């Protein structure tokens, strides 16, 4: 077996890679559906119907795609600079904690100021928690994957302590949850029915801004250059460490916004089950988008549809709902291969 570099990377191959990866993941996942004794096509059709088949389902899919766009962008920006931030889950909770700290009565501003203020503190909290891992990487060469992963556990425990102790809402009937965000800070719903809220628009704007940042600004150019070849970027006069630190702060900030969005937009208050793994799923979102910020919108929509649809499918069939996580995990692996095949060809000899 030999791997050869393709002379040109054809655009159609790049565009075809994500759908092919998704198809491959679905084909592999079909084995598990057959094992559950369910018909494959009918089951996938139930998944499709459960995620897009009605205005209620579509509303729910868009709602769930909102945090995934944020965490997907967080991973996409960071991975572009080869800064492997796997801590979006923890940063999401940091954003949610900051929004809860400032948004439950400590400060009261009119809504036009309160909403952006909570976004600002949430993003800052998400970025702040990455300062330790990124400085350890740039100054002491400590691998960021492990530190960001380990911090996820620390932050979740911290949130657990706050919600069971000092921040516990006395009105919550014993559940570990924080006091509700004051009305001025709540993001309004977009439609009369369903849970879709203003956060979805914010997520789309964030994706556009991230794309503009990466495509048209010096910062974006530096991020891409450092990711492609850090030592060459250094020789060309780019401050590699400064770029990595900046990237980390942007990435953590985006993940923090996911937390603000879930607290101020969806739930209205912080709970310990705020995120069912949005931070980790964000990695799959970013990979399926080939780290392109606008692609993140599409792939977040797809991953969200898998989660929402799998819930509906497992209600009507014997297929455990974990099928969604299996499909997401598989698609991280299949997209790696399909993207590789856009740049290389495999010759069997």
Partner 1 sequence: MIGDIFEILLTAGFWAATIRIVSPLILGTLGELICERAGVLNLGIEGIMTMGAMAGWMWVFQGGDLWGGIVFAAFIGALFGLFHASFTVYLGLSQHVTGIGITLFASSLSYYVFRMLLPDATTPPKIVPFQPYAIPGLSDIPVIGEALFSQTPLTYLALLSVPAVWYVLERTPLGLAVRMAGENPVAVESQGIDVLAVRTGAVMVGSAFMAIGGAFITMSAFDAFYFGMINGRGWICVALVIFASWRPGKALLGALLFAGLDALQVRAQQLAGAQIPYQFFLMAPYVLSIAAMVVMSRRASYPKALLVPFRRGDRV
Pick out residues in 254-313 that bind partner 1 (CB under 8 A): 280, 283-284, 287
Q: Least Å distance between CB 142 and partner 1?
A: 5
Question: How buried is 99 (Cβ within 10 angstroms: 0-12 exposed, 13-18 middle, 19+ buried)?
Answer: buried
77 contacts 293 by C-beta, under 8 angstroms? yes
Nearer to partner 1, 32 or 115 (CB): 32
| The two structure tokens encoding residue 184 | 């001025």
Q: With binding defined as CB under 8 A, does residue 1 bind partner 1? A: yes
CB-CB neighbours of 277 under 10 Å: 14
Three-state SS letters, 54-102: CHHHHHHHHHHHHHHHHHHHHHHHHHHCCCCCCCHHHHHHHHHHHHHHH
Pick out residues in 153-192 that bind partner 1 (CB under 8 A): 153-154, 157-158, 160-161, 164-165
| The two structure tokens encoding residue 148 | 């960001």
Nearer to partner 1, 105 or 160 (CB): 160
| The two structure tokens encoding residue 37 | 């004794």
Helix (H) or strand (E) holding 345: strand 344-347
Q: Which residues pair with 2 in a beta bridge?
A: 347
Q: With binding defined as CB under 8 A, does residue 106 bind partner 1? A: no
Q: Least Å distance between CB 272 and partner 1?
A: 11
177 contacts 166 by C-beta, under 8 angstroms? no
Only one of the segments 97-105, 136-144, 183-191, 226-234 lies at the binding site for partner 1 (rule: CB under 8 A); that segment is 136-144
> Could you give the string, one character per residue 52-71, with x where binding to partner 1 holds by CB under 8 A and - elsewhere?
--------------------
Q: With binding defined as CB under 8 A, does residue 149 bind partner 1? A: yes
Q: With binding defined as CB under 8 A, does residue 235 bind partner 1? A: no
Q: Which residues would be at the binding site for partner 1 (CB under 8 A)?
A: 1, 3, 32, 35-36, 79, 84, 86, 132, 136, 140-143, 145-147, 149-154, 157-158, 160-161, 164-165, 280, 283-284, 287, 318, 320, 322-323, 325-326, 328-330, 332-333, 336-337, 340
């Amino acid at each position: 077996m030999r791997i050869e570099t393709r002379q040109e990377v054809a655009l159609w191959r790049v565009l075809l890679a994500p759908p092919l990866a998704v198809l491959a993941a679905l084909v592999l996942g079909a084995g598990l559906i057959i094992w559950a004794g369910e018909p494959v096509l009918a089951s996938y059709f139930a998944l499709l119907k459960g995620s897009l088949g009605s205005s209620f389902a579509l509303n729910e899919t868009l709602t769930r795609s909102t945090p995934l766009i944020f965490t997907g962008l967080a991973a996409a920006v960071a991975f572009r600079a080869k800064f492997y931030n796997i801590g979006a889950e923890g940063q999401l909770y940091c954003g949610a904690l900051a929004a809860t700290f400032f948004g439950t009565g400590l400060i009261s501003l009119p809504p036009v100021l309160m909403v952006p203020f909570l976004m600002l503190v949430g993003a800052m909290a998400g970025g702040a928690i990455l300062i330790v891992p990124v400085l350890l990487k740039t100054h002491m060469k400590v691998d960021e994957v492990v530190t960001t992963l380990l911090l996820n556990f620390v932050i979740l425990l911290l949130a657990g302590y706050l919600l069971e102790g000092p921040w516990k809402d006395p009105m919550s009937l014993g559940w570990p949850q924080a006091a509700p965000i004051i009305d001025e800070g709540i993001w309004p719903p977009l439609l009369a029915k369903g849970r879709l809220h203003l956060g979805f628009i914010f997520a789309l704007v964030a994706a556009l801004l991230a794309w503009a940042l990466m495509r048209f600004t010096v910062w974006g150019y530096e991020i891409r250059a450092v990711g492609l070849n850090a030592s060459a970027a250094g020789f060309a006069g780019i401050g590699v460490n400064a770029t990595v630190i900046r990237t980390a702060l942007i990435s953590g900030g985006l993940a923090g916004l996911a937390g603000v969005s879930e607290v101020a937009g969806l739930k209205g208050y912080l709970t310990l089950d705020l995120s069912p793994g949005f931070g980790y799923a964000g990695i799959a979102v970013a990979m399926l988008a080939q780290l392109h910020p606008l692609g993140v919108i599409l792939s977040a929509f797809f991953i969200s549809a898998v989660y929402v649809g799998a819930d509906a499918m497992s209600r009507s069939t014997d297929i455990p709902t974990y099928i969604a996580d299996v499909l997401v995990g598989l698609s991280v692996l299949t997209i790696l291969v399909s993207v590789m095949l856009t740049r290389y060809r495999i010759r069997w000899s």
